Amino acid sequence: MIRLRFWGAAQTVTGSLYELAVDGVVHMLVDCGLFQGGPEADDANRNPFPFDPASLDLVVLTHAHLDHSGRIPLLYKRGFRGRVICTLATADLCRVLWPDSGHIQEADAEWRRRKAQRAGREAQPPLYTAQEAQDALGLLDGVPYEEPVPLAPGLTLRFRDAGHILGSAMAVLDFQGPPAFRLIFSGDLGQVGAPILRDPAQPALADCLVMESTYGGRRHPPSSGRRQQLAEIIQDTFSRGGKLVIPAFAVERTQDLIYELNALAASGQLPDEPVFVDSPLAISATEIFSRHPECFDRLTWQQIQKGDMPLDLVQLRFTRTTEESQSINGLKGPAIILSASGMADAGRIRHHLKHNLWRPEATVLFVGYQAPGTLGWSLLNGARQVRILGEEVAVKARIVSLSSFSGHADEDGLAQWVAGFRQLPPRIFLTHGEPEAQKSLAARLQQLAAQRGERAAVTSPAPGEQYTLEPAADLWPAAVLRQRLQALAEHLDQLTPMERAHVQRQLSQFWAAMAGPAEAGAGRDTPDAVK
């Protein structure tokens, strides 16, 4: 019996955490991320885990972003000592992201301690320290894409590229059974055609799909126009003598922007003004990109072979030290500042916003999702005054957004990915999305199922809800099921060897179950492709 419980990213976007248990076989998590978005998120992060961390055998990690990985150091602090299995690139990114997160936790705790001390209150310690995060790195176990990884007797994991950030993956879990069962966690899915990284892989089959829904109900503008839009924003800001401040996640968004700025420079559309990457983490992440060409798409490979390094830019300046960062705000005249975090709720970006939000000649450009409750969300929703680092700051700068830079697929992209399955997963759980986004995507997927004459149960689990998973043959009438099994059997040659073996096991079991004593007595044969 497979039991799946949703503890995080359930009817919300952050805090991904899914508990999976098979009696006597394995007790594991898929992802263990930070909640993000204000005091309530901080409280949620500090709550005790609803299970004993020491009882866990392992964690499967889909990618390095902190809303998926950022509570693993806390899991370690509270007793977990199992493996954290992820892709090779994800392991490298976590080696810089987790200690950096620990430093931020310590800095925020110290600021709160001083504030509490002045108010005569007791302050909370950091969620975890940089040293605790460093210690947790010993749990990381990086594996290549597409390589079968045994997790427990009768349970195998395979990572497939999700195209979201460097190293991001969908986790394909195959239970041998009987009956055989395939469970896929989509992770965060990227946009088809985005630069640098490969497009998301397309699985053929799953008994159950746990799927992100971040951009349900929304559509990105065509990515083909984003370079020109960026050029126009730069020109407009520089014509006013202002700085362009871009809150950008250190991993992926920063590299995407450098890629586009490099292309603008090559075409003569980027003015000769400094471009600062003011984030030690983003600098380290950019270096890690160069070590993982296995994640690059064909176009990026072609550029590299021609000697055009897509993340090189003549006027690019990396600022690692605090002194270098502070000097940027003393610079007169136009400049582009890329700094973390992408939601503007932590890191050096807060200092740059404090120095530029009140300037009407400045522009603040958001290029990623902004969770409710974050500073970025407030600015995008028209706040005219915000509190940053204990000070009230007027908002007079131009605030703009380019959602085409998002690392997430929009509703069309998500629906098209599901449509790529040869047979729709009989059970689909929507996670990592706000309720309205999930409602829109669920309706879209149910419409897709109706158009294909298939049935798929689409659910948006609430926090803490548990489900028992098993092959859902009862979703189809027997005649429909037989027809679809026969169609699948005829296409086995188009599947990968692992997918073919999985399908063969399932078809054999389903066919035997559907035949029953009466049909078996009538001499009904199993199709050759299923044998």
Tens digit of each residue's pLDDT (9 = 90 or more) over 328-378:
989 999 999 999 888 898 889 999 999 999 999 999 999 988 888 889 999
pLDDT-wise least confident of 130-144, 300-314, 375-389, 421-435: 300-314
Residue 349, CA distances (Å) to 34, 392, 395 in order: 19, 16, 15
Q: What's the token pair of residue 168? A: 């991001």
Q: Rounded to whole angstroms, how far apart are CA atoms 211 and 189?
A: 9
The pLDDT of 497-525, averaged and rounded, is 53
The pLDDT of 232-260, averaged and rounded, is 92
The dihedral built from the CA positions of residue 474, 476, 478 and 481, taken in this order, carries a sign that is negative
pLDDT at position 506, please? 66
Q: CB under 8 Å to 316, separation ≥6 — which residues?
A: 258, 261, 275, 277
Q: Rounded to whole angstroms, how far apart are CA atoms 104 and 473?
A: 49
Owner of token pair 């169609």: 487
Tens digit of each residue's pLDDT (9 = 90 or more) over 180-193:
899 999 999 999 98
Q: Give, rounded to a whole angstrom, the gap between the first and last alpha carbons of the chain.
A: 26
Q: Where is 32: in which H helix or E strand?
A: strand 26-32
Owner of token pair 């009956």: 179
The pLDDT of 384-403, averaged and rounded, is 94
Q: Rounded to whole angstroms, how far apart are CA atoms 386 and 128?
A: 28
Better-scored residue on pLDDT, 35 or 525: 35
pLDDT-wise least confident of 92-101, 403-412, 438-447, 499-508: 499-508
The pLDDT of 56-77, averaged and rounded, is 97
The amino acid that residue 133 corresponds to is: A
pLDDT at position 373, please? 86
Residue 200, CA distances (Å) to 169, 194, 404 in order: 8, 10, 17
- Would you say residue 84 has pLDDT above 50? yes
User: What is the dihedral angle through the alpha carbons of 90, 95, 100, 101, rounded to the nearest 10 degrees?
Assistant: 60
- Would you say residue 526 has pLDDT above 90? no
Better-scored residue on pLDDT, 445 or 515: 445
Nearest to 181 by CA among 205, 164, 165: 205
- DSSP-based helix, strand, coil % in the chain, nearest 5: 40, 20, 40
Q: CB under 8 Å to 424, separation ≥6 — which residues?
A: 418, 445, 448, 449, 452, 454, 456
Would you place residue 59 in the very low, low, confident or very high pLDDT band (cuts 50, 70, 90)? Answer: very high
The pLDDT of 511-520, averaged and rounded, is 42
- Would you say residue 480 has pLDDT above 50? no
Task: Kindly report the pTM of this predicted structure.
Answer: 0.82
The pLDDT of 204-230, averaged and rounded, is 91
Tens digit of each residue's pLDDT (9 = 90 or more) over 322-331:
999 999 989 9
- Would you say residue 200 has pLDDT above 50? yes
pLDDT at position 231, please? 96
Owner of token pair 């699985």: 203
**Mean pLDDT computed over every residue of the chain:** 89
DSSP 3-state of 211: strand
pLDDT at position 48, please? 97
Would you place residue 483 in the very low, low, confident or very high pLDDT band (cuts 50, 70, 90)? Answer: low
Cα three-residue angle 325-327-332, rounded to 5 degrees = 125
pLDDT at position 492, please? 67
HEC-encoded secondary structure of 434-487: CHHHHHHHHHHHHHHHHHHCCCCEEECCCCCCEEEECCCHHHCCHHHHHHHHHH
Q: Which domains does the chain have, with CATH numbers?
A: 2-218+407-466 (3.60.15.10), 223-405 (3.40.50.10890), 478-530 (no CATH)
Would you place residue 252 in the very low, low, confident or very high pLDDT band (cuts 50, 70, 90)? Answer: confident
Report the DSSP pairing between strands 316-318 and 275-277. parallel
Strand order across the beta sheet in which 427-431 lies: 149-152, 155-161, 169-175, 181-185, 208-212, 427-431, 457-459
Q: What percent of the chain has pLDDT over 90?
A: 67
Would you place residue 312 in the very low, low, confident or very high pLDDT band (cuts 50, 70, 90)? Answer: confident
The pLDDT of 293-306, averaged and rounded, is 86
Q: CB under 8 Å to 297, separation ≥6 — which residues?
A: 195, 196, 197, 198, 199
Q: Where are the beta strands (DSSP E) in 149-239?
A: 149-152, 155-161, 169-175, 181-185, 208-212
Better-scored residue on pLDDT, 93 or 472: 93
pLDDT at position 302, please? 85
pLDDT at position 495, please? 73
- Would you say residue 515 has pLDDT above 90? no
Q: Rounded to whole angstroms, how far apart are CA atoms 128 and 174?
A: 34
pLDDT at position 238, please? 97
